[in-house]
Structure 1
Amino acid sequence: MVMETIQIRLTEEQIEVLQSLVSSGIYPSKSEAVRDAVRKYIRAYETGIQENIETAQKQVETEIVKVIEEERKEYQKVKGTIDFYPEEKAMRDLLFSSLRNTAKKFNFKEIETPAFETLELLTAKSGEEIKAQIFTLEKRSTEQLGLRFDFTVPAARMFVQKQKELPKPVKWFVIDKAWRYEAPQKGRLREFYQFSCELLGSDKPEADAEVIRMAIELYKSMGLTEKDFYVRLNNRKLLVSLLSNIPQEKINSVLRVVDKVEKLSEKEFSDELKQLSLNEKQIKNIQNITLLKGKPSEIIQKISLESEATKTAVDEMTKIIDGLDGYEDFITLDLSLVRGQDYYTGTVFEFFDREEKYRAIGGGGRYDNLIELFKGEPCPATGFGIGLVPTMLLLEEKGLMPKLELRPDYYVAYFPNVKKEALELVKKLRKNNIVETDLMQRKFGKQMEYANSIKAKKLIVIGENEVKERNIKIKDMNTGIETEKKWNEVQ
């Protein structure tokens, strides 16, 4: 057999593709990849069928595309997460600052909790849906750990540790990340920011009204109005009192079905209730209850006050509504509202955009038994959380997301022979300003281009004359106007 060496010219792009095939382990070397491709073409040619050549070519191209796609996947962000580039993070931080300022006006104080807790703590009073969404950490010791899915449970643990020494009511808030393993969708991520508020120590309706008022004011501080969002309000005790014809042992199961009423068709809703062995009269009663939603004063008039439990719950609800005087346009009483967490004991509420393009953008309620569950003294509590991802989407849709340009106050350009003096000026200016200068050993013209590209507000050029005469020219990059100052006057 005669062996002959053949030279083949390849483009840079083709060479990169070959390297990808080698790096992925498909071929041991670039030369072997080329040889294999040539063999395929020759075999196809020898058959005399042009289709075989095209097929072979497509097979190689398909294989290359697969390899490249796999390589790209390795470096993409994890599904259900979000990146914040500098401008986006600055806008987010401005939004968070507004939320912090509003919370502090209500005398709420900011706390911080660990990202992970024991699974025992996280699952102690969570519904089955929430338990399935907890990110669990690989077990490395006897402790089983998971990432927090909200802040109510970690805050309750913190409260118990210092319960006796804390003046009541305790008013805390937190803005941080939480995690839930659920299907990512618009406004719903697996890693997300949440604003959470907890008011611990008061069982009075005034406390529930206070947290709802603050939640509304938080949304208003971001520019939203009653035309943009509203609050669905209910009381679990009221709902349970209206289910008096349901056996006690089935109440929680019924509540779980009611919690899904808007996700189910009328038949699906009825079928799920039938699976709980309820009769037609009981099912009809539940269906009628879920239809009670609207203006609070009108819905309360429709509630039959046959039991003491219902009278007590309606009285409590009325006091909360009275405490929301001035916020009536935001409130809808909705007796189908349950909320998923099992720890809620009374008032529950959720926030929705008026067009309901998103799932709830926030929600909360009363959880009077949670502190005791975590080995604390019995202590009433209420609070809420705001989902900041869907809220920011709503703000963008309404044109309310703050717009920021991260522009340095000064760009100091300099010639190499006066670098020392230029950096001294940069140091001085940075005491009161955001200042950028050359870090790339760029020529003077390139420094000017860079100053324009980062939209510097003002430009200072340092050369031999500026150092010698101790005078500095400052150019306003918006107007083009130049002013002159003494070196020691610049600050």
Structure 2
Amino acid sequence: MTYQRIRGAEDYYPNEFAVRKAISDVLAEEAKRFGFSQVDSPAIETIKLLTAKSGEEIKQQIFVMEQRGSEELGLRFDLTVPMTRMFVTKQREMQKPVKWFALAPMWRYEAPQKGRAREFMQLSCELFGSDKPEADAACINLIIACLERFGLSSKEVTIKINNRKLLEGLLSAIVPAGKIENAIQIIDRMEKVTDAEFFDLMNGIGVDQKGADAVREIVSYKGGADVLKKVSKELKLNELATQGLNELQGTLDFVDTKYITVDLSIARGLAYYTGNVYECFDREGKYRALAGGGRYDELVGLFGGEKTPATGFAIGLTPLTVILTDKGLLPAVSVGPEYYVAPVDETVLPKAMEITAQLRKRTTADVDLMRRKLGKQLDYAAAIGATKVVIVGEKDLKEGKVTVRDLKNGKEEKVLLTKLH
């Protein structure tokens, strides 16, 4: 019987793992440059925590574990929820703002497709304690810095941004009280449904045809940062919408706006967002969202902490890897050792082992473990990606030397053992 990996999960063989690690290392480097400290949390949380403010769609995607005790448990679907729980635990001990990041796997039970998996890695950055637009801008600027490190620019990617207060304020004149969150969930799914389905969904929450058309008109506002002037001039803004518009404009004052697309259809499906929300896409629209985030000022209080403003984002390694692969921008990686030690015969095997042990004190080294002929050893060294082969022969050893072959250019040289170490 042959066992296959489950749908929506990936096996990472040495080269694929090295690529993922190289991408992860760049993301971690950039997060640290921006003053974020790395943390981690359990993969398993209580269902009560995971569903406290997640939205209906996410609730349906959580991997729920078989209940064996009094608690219902599930696998985390993001890192914002666990990190907020962590923050609440030690909230009073820490100076603000608290800036954390994590690189870890998450799970969502959804249909696998290109750029989307059921098990996936994310960089998640969370900033607790600042309600200033500079905090949101720092998160957006970190996304930009990460993408630029891989060679992507504003010609290829854009960050579509909106504000939940702005959107909710505009919807409040159309959508029945108590149904605005439902309307936002529908807007978040607009690209996945037909016009007829959209109207049916809106009708289901008490919005008639005229109201649904008005909603479509609102979310049609898209463009550069200057589109906010058009929104202010052409749409009727109540106090909440005006507050959201000002928050959005205040944030854009601190970011490179050539990356920005103001898009009033951006809603983000998670119910915990309260202010600016954004998603990063390629400009051709070929790929899934590369990143997404926003402000969630009520989540700390909801989890039992003192009311604290918070903002953050996540970059998905799966969609990022897809776009970097297609554009030829994947980091160059090497999975083999720097040295492969090849004993010519069994008589020099003890010395070969000794040389290998010495090399490992300063670099990476492997040695033949199957007592193969030299030619087979050289083939193996090339196959595993070794950079150089140290050929250990009795004649060379009598002179205190070994032969070092560079597998990239084929050149050989005699090297004193004292120089090799």
TM range (shorter): over 0.9
Q: Which moved more, 1:334-343 or 1:262-271?
A: 262-271
2:408 corresponds to 1:474: no
| 1:187-198 equivalent positions in 2, closer than 5 A | 187-198=115-126
In structure 2, what residue type is equivalent to 1:400? Answer: L
How large is the Cα RMSD of the aligned pairs? Answer: 1.7
The one of 332, 340, 351 equivalent to 2:280 is 351
Distance in 1, Cα, partners of 2:41 & 2:143: 21
Secondary structure of 1:249's counterpart equals coil
| 1:437-456 equivalent positions in 2, closer than 5 A | 437-456=367-386
Report how many residues are paired. Answer: 417
Q: Which moved more, 1:330-339 or 1:451-460?
A: 451-460
Distance in 2, Cα, partners of 1:445 & 1:254: 69
The one of 251, 269, 284 equivalent to 2:213 is 284
TM-superposed deviation, 1:268: 2.2
Secondary structure of 1:352's counterpart equals strand
2:330 corresponds to 1:404: no
| 1:4-23 equivalent positions in 2, closer than 5 A | none
TM-score by length of structure 2 reads: 0.95
Gaps of 5+ in 2: none
Higher percent of residues as helix: 1
TM-score by length of structure 1 reads: 0.82
Secondary structure of 1:248's counterpart equals coil
Query: Percent of aligned pairs with the same residue?
Result: 46
**Contact 1:293/1:299 (<8 A) preserved:** no
2:388 corresponds to 1:458: yes
Distance in 2, Cα, partners of 1:108 & 1:371: 19
Distance of aligned partners of 1:410 and 1:277 in 2 relative to their CA distance in 1, 3 Å threshold: closer
Match of 2:249 in 1: 318
Match of 1:183 in 2: 111
Match of 1:230 in 2: 158
Secondary structure of 1:100's counterpart equals helix
TM-superposed deviation, 1:256: 1.9
Match of 2:414 in 1: 484
The one of 339, 358, 365 equivalent to 2:268 is 339
**Residue-by-residue CA offset, 1:135-175 (whole Å, 9 max, x unaligned):** 01111211111000000000000000100011101111111
**Contact 1:408/1:435 (<8 A) preserved:** yes
In structure 2, what residue type is equivalent to 1:453? Answer: A
**Contact 2:223/2:263 (<8 A) preserved:** yes
Match of 1:64 in 2: none
Greater RCO, 1 or 2 (C-alpha within 8 Å, sep 6+): 2
TM-superposed deviation, 1:306: 4.3
Match of 2:83 in 1: 155
Distance in 1, Cα, partners of 2:225 & 2:401: 71
TM-superposed deviation, 1:239: 0.9
Distance in 1, Cα, partners of 2:386 & 2:28: 30
Distance in 2, Cα, partners of 1:177 & 1:120: 20
Match of 1:97 in 2: 25
TM-superposed deviation, 1:212: 0.9
2:98 corresponds to 1:167: no
**Residue-by-residue CA offset, 1:257-280 (whole Å, 9 max, x unaligned):** 222222222232222212222234
TM-superposed deviation, 1:466: 2.9
Match of 2:316 in 1: 387
In structure 2, what residue type is equivalent to 1:230? Answer: T
Distance in 2, Cα, partners of 1:249 & 1:190: 32
In structure 2, what residue type is equivalent to 1:115? Answer: A
Distance in 2, Cα, partners of 1:93 & 1:271: 45
The structure with more radius of gyration: 1
Distance of aligned partners of 1:302 and 1:489 in 2 relative to their CA distance in 1, 3 Å threshold: closer
Distance in 2, Cα, partners of 1:91 & 1:460: 27
TM-superposed deviation, 1:449: 3.3
| 1:415-454 equivalent positions in 2, closer than 5 A | 415-454=345-384
**Contact 1:300/1:314 (<8 A) preserved:** no
Secondary structure of 1:136's counterpart equals coil
Secondary structure of 2:171's counterpart equals coil
2:63 corresponds to 1:132: no
**Residue-by-residue CA offset, 1:302-322 (whole Å, 9 max, x unaligned):** 333542333222222111111
The one of 293, 307, 313 equivalent to 2:222 is 293
Gaps of 5+ in 1: 1-70
Distance of aligned partners of 1:174 and 1:306 in 2 relative to their CA distance in 1, 3 Å threshold: closer
TM-superposed deviation, 1:208: 1.0
Distance of aligned partners of 1:362 and 1:479 in 2 relative to their CA distance in 1, 3 Å threshold: closer
In structure 2, what residue type is equivalent to 1:320? Answer: T
Match of 2:139 in 1: 211
Secondary structure of 2:336's counterpart equals coil
Match of 1:309 in 2: 240
| 1:25-104 equivalent positions in 2, closer than 5 A | 71-72=1-2, 75-104=3-32
Distance in 2, Cα, partners of 1:87 & 1:469: 38
Distance of aligned partners of 1:445 and 1:270 in 2 relative to their CA distance in 1, 3 Å threshold: closer
TM-superposed deviation, 1:330: 1.1
In structure 1, what residue type is equivalent to 2:282? Answer: D
Distance in 1, Cα, partners of 2:417 & 2:179: 81
Distance of aligned partners of 1:305 and 1:322 in 2 relative to their CA distance in 1, 3 Å threshold: farther
Secondary structure of 1:91's counterpart equals helix
